[in-house]
């Protein structure tokens, strides 16, 4: 249950607790909160536990340069660390750092690994049950693994053949494709999930986790069918933060392990993972002539440049370029 926010005191005193409370007041995604807090801790430890208020531009430049030259982090990793520190100083502490002058990482951005359609279907064919349907959603709808396991009953609109991704990266809602081939499997999975929910209710449980204090705003929502996870965990467990016994969604790591096993069984040597199916979704659409702006919307990218990287992934032979040797 690593996607449920850790509790913080009502009147936080410790620095990190105050920082977390500030982030939640601005509705940052919990994963962003964890990432930023991790980099801010790293920054503080690098400077021998000095208070951030006592430091500034020189210390930030030194730390960011260390990440590039000593830890050899990737471009996007250094950018994430920079975003965390800028948030800390500008938003939380109200301190302007001015123009930063640090060593930029030389580790370039890599092109995403993608599977051919035949490879993707072959790997999916090696899976069964929940895992097969989840990976099919990643490839057929462009979902991240965490978006797939967090889907709730109300997120699937069979009438309009679409899926609403509400608990997405950066808390950005979007609408994406519902493949026709997955309509009946999803209907069946929802029936199974709701049957399990009814059994939980009969046994005195059945309350699901709701984000952003929605349980207080809508007291009955936690037990309503629409809010239940489509892919519930096989067993109930005690939420260590709220001390409530509830059924969470299927764990992401279970899906990742199943995909890794299927890739190995299929003999695919590419450095592939769950996220590869999302990359493959984008490249297949691009190769079939779908406009890059539409793909950006389906993927939920803020910046079109993030989506444009897929134009470099498509083989040049798919653009009509032929080698002189051929």
Kindly report, residue by residue over 157-207, the tens digit of the pLDDT.
Answer: 999 999 999 876 656 789 999 999 999 999 999 999 999 999 999 999 988
Asked if 144 is an active-site residue, the reply is yes
270 and 163 in a common domain: yes
Q: Which position among 197, 278, 279, 284 bears the catalytic label?
A: 278
Q: Which position among 144, 197, 246, 249 bears the catalytic label?
A: 144
89 and 152 in a common domain: no
Q: Which position among 31, 169, 256, 261 bears the catalytic label?
A: 169
**Number of domains, the chain:** 2
Q: Which domain holds residue 181?
A: 111-326
CATH code, domain carrying 75: 1.10.150.130
| 101 located within any domain | no
CATH code, domain carrying 278: 1.10.443.10
Among 8, 124, 103, which Cα is nearest to 60's? 103
307 and 239 in a common domain: yes
| 98 located within any domain | no
Helix, strand, or coil here: 283? helix
| 105 located within any domain | no
Greatest mean pLDDT among 104-118, 123-137, 288-302, 312-326: 123-137
124 and 74 in a common domain: no
Helix (H) or strand (E) holding 245: strand 245-246
| 87 located within any domain | yes
CA–CA distance, 71 with 67 (Å, rounded to integer): 5
115 and 83 in a common domain: no
As a whole number, mean pLDDT of residues 96-125 equals: 88
| 177 located within any domain | yes
The pLDDT of residue 18: 94
**pTM summary value:** 0.78
Residues 6+ apart with CB under 8 A from 219: none
Asked if 30 is an active-site residue, the reply is no
**pLDDT, tens digit, for every residue of 278-311?**
999 999 999 888 999 999 999 988 888 888 888 8
| 3 located within any domain | no
Domain boundary among 67, 93, 119: 93
Asked if 310 is an active-site residue, the reply is yes
Residue 289 buriedness (CB in 10 A; 0-12 / 13-18 / 19+): exposed
Any idea how long the chain is? 326
The pLDDT of residue 193: 96
141 and 49 in a common domain: no
184 and 293 in a common domain: yes
Asked if 275 is an active-site residue, the reply is yes
Q: Which position among 57, 107, 174, 275 bears the catalytic label?
A: 275
CA–CA distance, 86 with 318 (Å, rounded to integer): 42
Asked if 79 is an active-site residue, the reply is no
As a whole number, mean pLDDT of residues 101-128 equals: 88
Asked if 301 is an active-site residue, the reply is yes
């Amino acid at each position: 249950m690593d996607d449920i926010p850790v509790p913080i005191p009502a009147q936080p005193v410790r620095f990190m607790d105050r920082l977390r409370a500030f982030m939640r007041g601005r509705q940052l995604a919990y994963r962003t909160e964890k990432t930023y807090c991790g980099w801010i801790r790293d920054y503080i430890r690098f400077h021998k536990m000095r208070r951030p208020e006592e430091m500034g531009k020189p210390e930030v430049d030194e730390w960011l340069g260390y990440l590039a030259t000593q830890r050899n982090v990737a471009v996007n990793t250094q950018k994430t660390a920079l975003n965390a520190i800028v948030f800390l100083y500008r938003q939380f502490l109200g301190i302007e750092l001015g123009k930063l002058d640090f060593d930029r990482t030389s580790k370039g951005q890599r092109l995403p690994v993608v599977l051919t359609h035949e490879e993707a279907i072959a790997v999916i064919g090696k899976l069964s049950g929940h895992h097969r349907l989840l990976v099919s959603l990643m490839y057929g709808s462009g979902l991240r693994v965490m978006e797939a396991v967090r889907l709730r009953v109300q997120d699937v609109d069979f009438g309009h053949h679409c899926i609403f991704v509400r608990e997405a990266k950066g808390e950005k809602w979007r609408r994406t494709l519902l493949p026709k081939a997955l309509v009946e499997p999803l209907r069946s999975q929802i029936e199974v999930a709701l049957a399990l929910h009814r059994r939980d209710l009969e046994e005195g449980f059945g309350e699901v986790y709701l984000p952003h204090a929605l349980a207080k705003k809508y007291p009955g929502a936690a037990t309503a069918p629409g809010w239940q996870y489509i892919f519930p965990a096989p067993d109930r467990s005690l939420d260590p933060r709220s001390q409530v016994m509830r059924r969470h969604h299927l764990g992401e790591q279970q899906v990742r392990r199943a995909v890794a096993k299927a890739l190995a069984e299929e003999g695919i040597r590419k450095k592939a993972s769950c996220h590869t199916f999302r990359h493959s979704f984008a490249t297949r659409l691009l190769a079939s002539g779908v406009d890059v702006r539409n793909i950006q919307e389906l993927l939920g990218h803020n910046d079109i440049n993030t989506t444009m990287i897929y134009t470099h992934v498509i083989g040049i032979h798919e653009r009509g370029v032929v080698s002189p040797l051929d």
